[in-house]
Structure 1
Amino acid sequence: MHQDVERYLQAGSRANTRRSYQQAIEHFEVSWGGFLPATSDAIVRYLVDHAGTLASSTLKLRLAALAQWHTSQGFPDPTKTPLVRQVLKGIRTLHPKPEKQAEPLQLRELEQCVAWLERAGEKARAEGDLPRLLRCWRDRALLLIGFWRAFRSDELCRLQVEHIQVRPGEGMQLFLPWSKGDRDNQGQTYRAPALARLCPVQAYTDWISVAGIARGAVFRGINRWGQLQDTALHPNSVIPLLRQTLQRAGLDGELYSSHSLRRGFATWATRNGWDQKSLMSYVGWKDAKSALRYVEAAGFFAGNLQASAVRAISAEPFPGEAR
């Protein structure tokens, strides 16, 4: 019975969150030498000792981890006292640090990457180089689905073939049992249209066809011998994979992260007249602050065009493309 309870408790929290909280507790206890349960005075000293070196967002995460530990163990939460809140506010005032954001992957850069992958893939096909063809077609599908659906890296890695429906020439439907914005794990269905070019639907069907995937993870590892793995890519592998592709396509890969796809789409949508409500609904943001963080400053929700999300993608021409 105990094992079943533990299993459901684990399922009720995000793996990344559990890992981050565990690291935060270890930092407080081991690296800093704090004791648990802690007093609010100890929490304040911990904050002050790291005020100049850690970003306020990191300190807030550490506080959240300490708060969760205390409440789960049945102790009073020492992080909620007025003193702790005031000190944290003072740290933000005296040690302001700009939030680091990934460079958005613009449409022209996406096109450059996809063109390179397609050339390399066709050459690999002509030479009978299946391992290279697999990598090119996988990475193209990952880039295009990641961009047009503004998916996070962990969402891309959790896509399952049996949860995706494709209608050639029309679009695709992707179901995720849970995501970061889906706090109650109700599951959410996303849609992506078929496009004249840079099409996520075609890239997906090409990939699963050449890979022979009928069920299970969509995006998988490929080992050094070119063998397709049964398990999904790890979210942490998406950034080096993306940077490597950008580098080979002639771009500076180090400027980008997996969030570059999300920010790139938000920037593209904004410049093409999407209103704030449509963009938030399509991407899955619950509040305007989340949206503003991802949209490049040059195009903050200009105009009042009331196009729906899917219509905006399929109807709006790309730069330099006639209607």
Structure 2
Amino acid sequence: MIAIDDYLHAATRENTRRSYRAAVKHFEEEWGGFLPATAEGILRYLARYAGVLAHNTLKQRVSALGQWHVDQGFPDPTKAPVVRKMLRGIQEVHPAQERRARPLQLDALEQAVGWLEQQQDLARQQGRSADLLRPARDKALLLIGFWRGFRSDELARLEVERIEAVAGQGMRIQLPRTKTDRSLKGSTYLTPALSRLCPVAAYLDWLAVSGVRSGPVLRGIDRWGRISEDAIHAASIIPLLRRILGAAGIADVHLYSAHSLRRGFASWASANGWELRALMEYVGWKNISSASRYVDSHDPYHRDMLERLLPAKPLPSPAIDAPDS
């Protein structure tokens, strides 16, 4: 029988628990603060790291400290109006430009997938069956991640039991929890089979090569070709993606992250005529502001639109009557 604590533990995502533990550790061990804290203690902590940590990081740390107090039954000092005012002041004094991952363009995706397929062909020719595993897994990761616009944690939580795939038709992916699914109802995503760069074929190929029949889809693979029973960690997807892109000959791999797959698909779809509302429904965005952060316009300065509005030739100057003599 599952204990009460197990249900309470399941109510919070593992990524959230991890970030909260890191925040409490930073407050106590690195800064030397004491818990439970006072509002004044929170202010001094914020003043120490204002301009050192990103504003969003500070907000997350404050949220974590607040949750710690609630969980332990103490009054929450982070709810004090002066703490909120302090955060607004820090943002005003230390404005930060948002850094966004470079979108993975379709030609770069094709280049990376082409390199992975070359590695598969070479392994087959040389009879190295173990070396088929990594490129098959990586191709499934890239193509599912791109065409579905999945986040890294969503890719890491894919399970065979929650995917129905039919070769040449499509696949149905069910995720019991997503970042925007506050009600925990789960979400279902449909992905078509494509004539090339097909996520369905890549997924089925990975299952065939790996022998995975249940549990996590994307798993770790050690140097001897042994497949882990556990899912690949979400945090490892960024270095994995950069390794794939670098090996495929794509430049500036440090500019790419797991969000590059999501941003790449969104920008590609927008450039090819998808209406924003249709794109939001497909990817799973709940509001326009979230969607717009991922879409790179093909005309960022709106030059095409403004040029169309300009007159074809300069307007004639108005006639000026000569003054009476």
Q: Identify whether the pair has TM-score above 0.5, normalized to the shorter chain.
A: yes
Determine if the alignment matches structure 1 residue 82 to structure 2 residue 120: no
* 1:127 equivalent in structure 2: 126
Q: Per-residue deviation at 1:23?
A: 0.9
1:110 aligns with 2:109: yes
Partner of 1:277 in structure 2? Answer: 277
2:316 matched to which residue of 1?
none
AA matched with 1:159: L
The answer to whether the aligner puts 1:182 opposite 2:181 as a matched pair is yes
Indicate if the aligned counterparts of 2:270 and 2:297 stay in contact, CA closer than 8 A.
no
Describe the superposition over 1:207-241 as per-residue Cα deviations: whole angstroms up to 9, x where unpaired: 11111222221111111111222222111221121
Structure 2 counterpart of 1:181, one-letter code? T
What one-letter code is carried by the residue in structure 2 that aligns with 1:137? A
Give the 5 Å matches for 1:6-155: 6-155=5-154
How far is the alpha carbon of 1:245 from its aligned partner? Answer: 0.7
* CA–CA distance in structure 1, aligned partners of residues 162 and 156 of structure 2: 13
What is the rounded CA distance, in whole Å, between the counterparts of 2:125 and 2:25 in structure 1? Answer: 53
2:308 is matched with none
Work out the number of aligned pairs and report it.
300
- The match for 2:311 is none
**For residues 8 and 26 of structure 1, what CA distance do their matches in structure 2 show?**
25
**Aligned partners of 1:52, 1:121: CA distance in 2, in Å?**
48
Amino acid of the structure 1 residue aligned with 2:57: T
Gaps of 5+ in 2: 303-325
Contact kept, 8 Å, 1:267 with 1:299, in 2: the verdict is no
Q: CA RMSD in A?
A: 1.7
Q: Which residue of 2 aligns with 1:295?
A: 295
CA shift digits 1:236-275 (9 cap, x unpaired): 2211211111011001322211111111111111111222
How big is the shift at 1:81?
2.0
Structure 1: gaps of 5 or more residues:
303-323
CA distance in 1, matches of 2:54, 2:230: 35
TM-fit CA distance, 1:297: 4.7
In structure 2, what is the Cα distance between the partners aligned to 1:130 and 1:65?
A: 47
Quote how far apart the aligned CAs of 1:110 are.
0.2
User: In the aligned structure 2, how far is the partner of 1:245 from the partner of 1:268?
Assistant: 21
Equivalent residue for 2:161?
Answer: 162
Mark the structure with the bigger radius of gyration. 2
Q: 1:297 to 1:25 in 2, by over 3 A?
A: farther
Q: Verify the 8 A CA contact 1:270 1:299 in the aligned structure 2.
A: no
| 8 Å contact kept, 2:141–2:155 | yes
Aligned AA (1:270): S
Change (3 A) 1:37 1:229: closer
Q: Which residue of 2 aligns with 1:171?
A: 170
Distance 1:73 1:297 in 2: 47
The residue aligned with 1:307 is none
Match of 1:267 in 2: 267
- How far did residue 153 of structure 1 move? 1.3
Secondary structure of the 2:189 match is strand
Tell me the CA shift for residue 295 of structure 1.
1.8
Identical-residue share of aligned pairs (%): 56
Residue in 1 that maps onto 2:321: none
Matched residue type, 1:120? Q
Q: Do the aligned partners of 2:101 and 2:256 also contact (CA within 8 Å) in 1?
A: yes
**Whole-Å separation in 1 of the counterparts to 2:235 and 2:270:** 28
Name the aligned partner's letter for residue 257 of structure 2.
Answer: S
Deviation at 1:299, TM superposition (A): 5.8
CA contact (8 A) 2:271 2:297 kept: no
| Alignment of 1:232 onto 2:224 | no
- Cα distance in structure 1, aligned partners of 2:194 and 2:270: 19
User: CA offsets, 1:184-215, max 9 Å, x none?
Assistant: 22221111011111110111111111112222
Deviations 1:26-84 (A, max 9, x none): 11122112222222122111111111201110110011011111222222221122211
Q: Secondary structure, in 3 states, of the residue corresponding to 1:230?
A: strand
